Amino acid sequence: MAEELLRFKGKVRCVAAAPPLALTLCGTPSNETGEVALAFSARAPGDFPESLEDAVVERVSPGNYRITSGARAWLLEARAVHVHREVAAQFYRAIPPRPVPFVKRLLWSLVLRLGASRLGIRLLRVSRG
């Protein structure tokens, strides 16, 4: 029985490259937000397109995977499959940036105002030595 690894919604880009990760599928999963890249350590079949629509990736057996899109299906033999998820938005929601101290904001404000005039640029260059 096949085990579903990932179900994409919409357009899926297919990137063929040199080994070890010779085939990568990039798109939006149906049950998540953000982009996911699914990289196979296998060469793409000769008739594999540059993009798919609503693709489904299943593990048929250990080392064997089926990619289905519409009425078409491709079988791959891959030693490994790597899933890369975009997690930056979740990370920065969980760990917000710390506020900039007032003295540092004041210093950079002064430096930027000096950099806006020729005299200020000269003063900055002199202060650097």
The predicted-structure confidence for 62-112, as pLDDT tens digits, reads as follows 989 999 998 999 999 998 899 998 888 888 889 888 899 999 999 999 999
Find the largest Cα–Cα distance for the chain.
Answer: 75
Residue 43 has pLDDT above 90, yes or no: no
Please report, for the chain, the start and end positions of each structural domain, with discontinuous segments joined by +: 3-90, 98-128
The residue among 62, 56, 69, 49 whose CA lies nearest residue 5 is 56
pLDDT of residue 106: 95
The predicted-structure confidence for 3-37, as pLDDT tens digits, reads as follows 998 999 999 999 888 778 789 999 999 887 778 99
Q: What is the DSSP letter of 18?
A: S
Residue labelled with tokens 């891959």: 78
Q: What is the C-alpha radius of gyration for the chain, rounded to an integer number of angstroms?
A: 25
Assessment of whether the complete model's pTM goes beyond 0.85: no
By the 8 A CB rule, do 5 and 58 touch? yes
The predicted-structure confidence for 115-127, as pLDDT tens digits, reads as follows 999 999 998 898 8
